[in-house]
Chain A
C-alpha cells in the first residue's frame, strides 16, 4: 500500500517569504545591486562561473545575491539555468599562449622571457585587516608603465632542452568531438580530456584538499609551478551560416602548468612531467590544485606505482569532485523520509521483540 501525504503548502510559502525577508537583511542598510556584486565580489563571481560551468558574470552575480552569498547554492542556480539553454556549438580551442595576461609568474625560472608579472595579487600582502575599507573612499588608481608584450610559455624553454615530456600524442578523430560530461554520463576509466573537464568544474575545496594530500605524501608528485597566468583570451566560434571563424567574445582564464619531478621508468629516461590546470575566471588556488590532481591521475600512463592514495584514484576523484551532485545527495537526507524511517523503526522493534523472546525462552 502507498499512502501519499499532502500538506505544508502554507508553511512552505511562508518559509520562502521569510527567506526573502532574511535575504534582504536590515532594510535600513542599502540593498546590494547585481553590478556591485559583479564588480566588487569578482572572485566569488569567478568561482560561481567556473563551478557553475557557465561564463556569464551578470548571471553569477545575480545567483550570489539570490543565494545570500552561499556560493554552492549560487552554483546550483547557474547549473539549473544552464540546462535551459540550447547549445549553439563549440568554440575553437582557446589559445592561452596568446592570452592578454594581467598576471604571469614562474616559480622555476627567475628570468623567464616576458618577466615575472605580479598583477592584482594577494601575494605579499600582510593579511592584516584593512579597516580603511570600512569607510567609502576615492577609487584607487593602479600605476601604469610600458605595456606587456607577448609571454612565451615557460614549458617551451624546457621543451627545447628535451628535459620535459612532450605533450602526449592525440587522436584527431577524438579531437573533433572531445568527450563532454554534460552530454553523456561519465564513464570510467576517463580519458584526460574528460578528467580535465570534470576538474575544471569541480569543487575548489575538494580539489584543494586532494592536492594538499598529494603534497603531504599521499601520492606524492613533487610539483613546481612552472607557470601561472591569468588574463583574457578570445573565444572564436565558427558561424555556421557563413563558415567563418569570428572572435565573438573574451573570457578571463587562469592557467597553471606544473613541472613535476620524474625519475624515469623502465621505458623512459629521467625527465620532468607536466600537470595542467585551466579554470574560468581568476582562480589561481583552484588552477594550481587542478594541475596537481591532473598530474597525480596520470600515474598509470607514466608507469608510476599506484600507492593507493585517494588522489590517484580516478573514481574517487571524479565521482566526488562535483559539489552539486554531492550537495544534492547529502542534503536530500534532510527531506521527509517518514515512510522509509517508519519501516526501519518497525524492523528494529520486531528484532528487539524477537531477541527478548529468545532471552526469556533461554531462562
Chain B
C-alpha cells in the first residue's frame, strides 16, 4: 500500500486529533462521508505500550491496548489511514476518510469545521482535569513556636 500524497507537516497532528476524538463527537462534526473504497477494512488488534525503566531509561513492555486500523481510497485516488485507540470500527473508518480528505482541496474547510473543534474539545478536557488537580495542591504554612519565636 503506497501513499503517493505529498507529505504534510501537520499530518501526525491531524491523524492524532482524529484518533483521539470522541467517536460520537467526530460523527457529529463529520456526519457525511464521500464515496470511498476500503484498502484495509477496519481491523481490531493490539499495540504493545512501552514504558521506560525508572521513567527515563531503557524501554520495557508495559502491556497492550486495543487499537483499530483502517485504510481507504477516495474516488479521486487519495489514500487515507487511521489507527485509533479502542474497538470502534466506524471511528477508524471515519478517521481514515477524513485523513484522506485532509490531503485534498477540502483541507482548509475541514481544518476549520472538524479539526479546530476537536482540538478545542481536547484542550478543554485537559484544562478541566488540570484545574481540578490544581485545586488539590497543598499549600503548606509553618507555625512558629518555641522561645525563640519573634
Which residue numbers of A lie inside 8 Å of B, CB to CB? 49-50, 53-56, 58-59, 82, 85-94, 96-97, 100-103, 110-111, 115-119, 142-148, 153, 155, 167-168, 170-171, 174-175, 178-182, 192-194, 196-197, 200-201, 231-232, 234-235, 237, 239, 241-242, 244-251, 253, 255, 257, 274, 276, 278, 280
Q: Complex formed: what's the CA distance from A196 to B58 in Å?
A: 11
Contacts beyond the supplied A86-B43, A117-B133: 6 A-B pairs with Cβ under 8 Å: A142-B135, A148-B130, A170-B57, A197-B62, A235-B65, A257-B54
- Chain B residues contacting A59 (CB-CB under 8 Å) are 66, 87
Q: Complex formed: what's the CA distance from A54 to B54 in Å?
A: 22
- Chain B residues contacting A235 (CB-CB under 8 Å) are 47, 49, 65, 85
The reply to whether B50 and A94 form a contact with Cβ atoms under 8 Å apart is yes
The reply to whether A167 and B3 form a contact with Cβ atoms under 8 Å apart is no
The reply to whether B16 and A93 form a contact with Cβ atoms under 8 Å apart is no
The reply to whether B61 and A86 form a contact with Cβ atoms under 8 Å apart is no
Q: Which residue of B65, B81, B126, B134 contacts A249 across the interface (Cβ within 8 Å)?
A: B65
* Closest chain B residue, CB of each to CB of A256: B55
The reply to whether B61 and A90 form a contact with Cβ atoms under 8 Å apart is yes
| B25 in contact (CB, < 8 A) | no
Q: Complex formed: what's the CA distance from A320 to B58 in Å?
A: 25
Q: Complex formed: what's the CA distance from A100 to B133 in Å?
A: 10
Q: Mark B119-140, 1 if CB is under 8 A from A, else 0.
A: 0000000111111111111101
The reply to whether A193 and B43 form a contact with Cβ atoms under 8 Å apart is no
Chain B interface size, as a band, is 35 or more
| Given known A193-B53, A248-B20, contact A175–B59 (CB-CB < 8 A) | yes
Q: How far is the CB of B118 from chain A (nearest CB, A)?
A: 13
The reply to whether B59 and A246 form a contact with Cβ atoms under 8 Å apart is no
Q: How far is the CB of B5 from chain A (nearest CB, A)?
A: 9
| Given known A167-B53, A249-B20, A280-B63, contact A116–B129 (CB-CB < 8 A) | no
Q: How far is the CB of B67 from chain A (nearest CB, A)?
A: 6
Sample 26 A-B pairs with CB under 8 A, ordered by A number: A54-B64, A55-B49, A86-B45, A88-B67, A90-B48, A94-B51, A97-B55, A143-B132, A144-B128, A144-B134, A148-B133, A168-B53, A170-B53, A179-B61, A181-B61, A182-B48, A196-B60, A197-B63, A237-B47, A247-B20, A248-B19, A248-B20, A248-B47, A248-B67, A249-B86, A278-B55
Q: How far is the CB of B42 from chain A (nearest CB, A)?
A: 13
Q: Which residue of B44, B47, B54, B128 contacts A91 across the interface (Cβ within 8 Å)?
A: B47
Q: Which residue of B44, B59, B64, B134 contacts A148 across the interface (Cβ within 8 Å)?
A: B134
The reply to whether A53 and B45 form a contact with Cβ atoms under 8 Å apart is no
| B101 in contact (CB, < 8 A) | no
The reply to whether A178 and B20 form a contact with Cβ atoms under 8 Å apart is no
The reply to whether B62 and A200 form a contact with Cβ atoms under 8 Å apart is yes
- Chain B residues contacting A117 (CB-CB under 8 Å) are 133-134, 136-138
- Chain B residues contacting A148 (CB-CB under 8 Å) are 130, 133-134, 137
Q: Mark B67-111, 1 if CB is under 8 A from A, else 0.
A: 101010000000001011111000000000000000000000000
The reply to whether A175 and B132 form a contact with Cβ atoms under 8 Å apart is no
- Chain A residues contacting B15 (CB-CB under 8 Å) are 239, 244, 246, 248
- Chain B residues contacting A192 (CB-CB under 8 Å) are 53, 58, 60
- Chain A residues contacting B86 (CB-CB under 8 Å) are 56, 58, 249
Q: Which residue of A144, A234, A237, A276 contacts B83 across the interface (Cβ within 8 Å)?
A: A237
The reply to whether A119 and B133 form a contact with Cβ atoms under 8 Å apart is yes
| B52 in contact (CB, < 8 A) | yes
* Closest chain A residue, CB of each to CB of B44: A85
Q: How far is the CB of B93 from chain A (nearest CB, A)?
A: 15
The reply to whether B59 and A147 form a contact with Cβ atoms under 8 Å apart is no
| B146 in contact (CB, < 8 A) | no
Q: Which residue of A91, A147, A155, A168 contacts B131 across the interface (Cβ within 8 Å)?
A: A147
The reply to whether B130 and A86 form a contact with Cβ atoms under 8 Å apart is no
The reply to whether A178 and B134 form a contact with Cβ atoms under 8 Å apart is no
- Chain B residues contacting A178 (CB-CB under 8 Å) are 50, 58-61
The reply to whether A241 and B85 form a contact with Cβ atoms under 8 Å apart is no
